[in-house]
Structure 1
Amino acid sequence: MSRTRQPFRSAEATSLTAESANKDSTDRLFVQSVARAFRVLEGFANTPEPMSLSQIAKAAGLDKSGAQRLAYTLTKLGYLEQGAAGGLVPGRKLLERTFDYLKANPLVSRAVPILAELRRDVQERVDLSLFDDLTMLYLVRLQSKRDSFYAHLIGRRVPTFCTSGGRAVLARLPDERVLDILARSDRRRITPRTTVQLEEILKRIEEVRQLGYSLALEEIMIGELAIAAAIVDKDNKPIGAIHVAGSLSEWEPSDFARKFGPLVIAAAKAVGTA
C-alpha cells in the first residue's frame, strides 16, 4: 500500500500571497481587506488541524485583532467553522464554491464521461489535472481500491516538474517555456525517487515527446506509478492532463506503460476535441 504523505505546498506557493500583497499595495482597484480575508483562508493550506486565532494571525501575516475580526466575519458567512475540539476549520461554504468552479469549467464537463469510461476499462485510479504553471491541480479523481487519503481529494496541488501529468504538459511546451518553469520550480525531493536534476528532467521530457505519454515511478508517492498524457486546446497548447495511477506491487512499469499508454493518449485527445 502507498505511504500517505502530507499535501505538497511549494515554497513559491507559500510566498505567493505576501508577494502579491506587496505588488498590489499600489493598485487603486485592489481591495486589501478582501485580500486579507483570503489570506486567512489560505492559512489553512499547511495544516489539517483546527487553528487558534494566534495561529491564523501568524499564518496570514496579520495582527491578532485583525485576524479576529476577519475570522469572525468568515465564520458568520459560513466559510470558517468551529472545530469539534476547539479552534477554527474551513467551513462547508467553501465546498459550494468548489462546486461552482467545477460546474462552470468546460474542461470538467467534457472530461467526466471520458474519464468514467477510462476508469471502467483500466480498473485503476484515473485523474484529471489542470496545468497551473509550477503546479498541476487535481480537478477530478476516480478512485481505485488502495488509495491513500490525499489521493482521494480534489484541489490538491502537485509539482509540474516531477509528476507524470506535469511532464506530459511540459513536453508540449516550447523549450524556453520549459526552462523558465524548471528554473522557477522548487525542485526538492518529495520521495527518494523524485527527479530533481535539470538534465534528467529534460531527458525525460524529451522521452515524453517521443512516446506521447509520461511515466513516473514513485516521484511523489512511495509505491505508486502513474502514466499521463497532456490535454491540448484548439491552439494546441497544453491545459491539463489525464493520469492513470497504479501500484508497483501489482505492475511492472513496462507492462503498465504498454497497456495504459495508448489509453491515456486516446482519452486526452478525446477530451481536447470533445
Structure 2
Amino acid sequence: MRMTGWWPRARPDAGTPEEQGNDPLFVRSVARAMQVLSAFHQADAPMTLTEIAAAGEMDKSAAQRFVHTLRKLGYIERDMTDRGFVPGLRLLDHSLDYLRLNPLVERATPVLQEMRRHVHERVDLSLFDDLRVVYAARNQSKRETFFAALIGHAVPTFCASGGRAILALLTDAEVDDILARSDLRPITMRTITDPEAIREKVREAREVGYACALEEVVPGEIALGVAITGPDRRPVAAIHVAGSLSEWQPEEFCQKFGPLAQSTARALSRA
C-alpha cells in the first residue's frame, strides 16, 4: 500500500482504555468505528480488510463487522476496480457541514476570493490543529498539483508559512512543546528541521508580522503566511499566499503581498 505523505493526520486524544472505561458518556464502539474510517488517512490506494484492521488496531473479525456496517450506511465503499475498500460518498456530507457551519470559513471565503483577484497567486485559508495546519479554503493559481488543490490537505505546523506565523503568536514554551512533539523530517530538500533554526524563523515572523517559507513544502514555491486570531487573541488560522520562485524574488514577493495579507488577516481577526 502506498502512502500520501509521512506526516500523520491528527487524532483526538481519547485517553487510555482505562480512562475511556471510567467515562460513563464515552461510547467505545463509536470510537472504534472512527478508527476504521481513520485507517484511510495515510492511504492513496484501496485498502484490504487486513490493512484496515492493522491501521485501526483491531482484529480482522472486528474490522469486518465495522466495515460491513459502514458500507451499509454509505461511509465505506468497494473500489470501482474491486481491489479493496475506499471512503464512501456520505463522508462529503460531513465535510460540507463543517465548512458551512464554521463562521471563520464563511467570513473568509469571499474575502479570500477578492484577495485572489488582486494578487493573481494562490490564496489559502488554513486552520490550526496543533502539530499541523489544515487547508479549509483554496483559491488556485495557474499551477497546481492534485493534493495542493484539495480541501482538508494538511502540512506540519513547523514548516508551513502559516504554521510559523501561528507559532509566532504563541509563547516560547508553547513553541518548544510543539517542536518537541513534531516529527521534524524534511518534506523537500529545503525544509528547515533544526529546532533552533525554526525558532529563529518564528522570531523573524514576530518582528515583521508574517512568515515566509522558501521551497519547504513544495519545490519551487515561495509561501507567505499571516495568522488570524480568535476573540481571545489566540491564533486559530492563517492566510497563505503562494507563488513561483521562477517569477518572484523572495524579497519582492514579501514586500508586495505581506501588507495585503496582514490587513486581510486583521480584518478577519476583528470580525
Length-normalised TM-score, structure 1 = 0.93
| Contact 1:110-1:271 at 8 Å conserved across structures | yes
Partner SS for 1:241: strand
Match for residue 94 of structure 2? 97
Q: Distance in 2 between matches of 1:8 and 1:156?
A: 13
What is the number of residues matched between the two proteins?
267
Q: Distance in 2 between matches of 1:18 and 1:230?
A: 25
Corresponding position of 1:65: 61
Give the Cα separation in 2 of the matches to 1:234 and 1:28: 33
CA shift, 1:43, in A, is: 0.3
1:9 — aligned with what? 7
How far off is 1:63 after superposition?
1.0
Matches within 5 A, 1:2-151: 6-10=4-8, 13=10, 16=11, 20=15, 22=17, 23-86=19-82, 87-151=84-148
- Once the two structures are TM-superposed, the CA of residue 254 in structure 1 deviates from its matched residue by 1.0
Q: Which residue of 2 aligns with 1:184?
A: 181
Gaps of 5+ in 1: none
CA contact (8 A) 1:7 1:156 kept: no
After superposition, the Cα gap between the structure-2 partners of 1:179 and 1:17, relative to the gap in structure 1 and judged at 3 Å, is closer
TM-score (norm 2): 0.94
Question: Relative to structure 1, is the Cα distance of residues 18 and 54 closer, same or farther in structure 2, using a 3 angstrom cutoff?
Answer: farther
Share of identical aligned residues, percent?
A: 52
Determine the C-alpha separation between the residues in 2 that align with 1:18 and 1:56. 20
Equivalent residue in structure 1 for 2:233, among 236, 240, 247? 236
Of 218, 221, 227 in structure 2, the residue corresponding to residue 221 of structure 1 is 218
By relative contact order (CA 8 Å, sep 6+), the higher-ranking structure is 1
Alignment of 1:267 onto 2:261: no
Give secondary structure in 2 for the equivalent of 1:130. Answer: strand
Matches of 1:142 and 1:32 in 2, distance apart?
39
Deviation at 1:159, TM superposition (A): 0.7
Distance in 2 (alpha carbons) for counterparts of 1:267 and 1:203:
25
What residue number does 2:195 align with? 198
CA RMSD, Structure 1 to Structure 2 (Å): 1.7
How far has the Cα of 1:61 moved from its partner?
A: 1.1
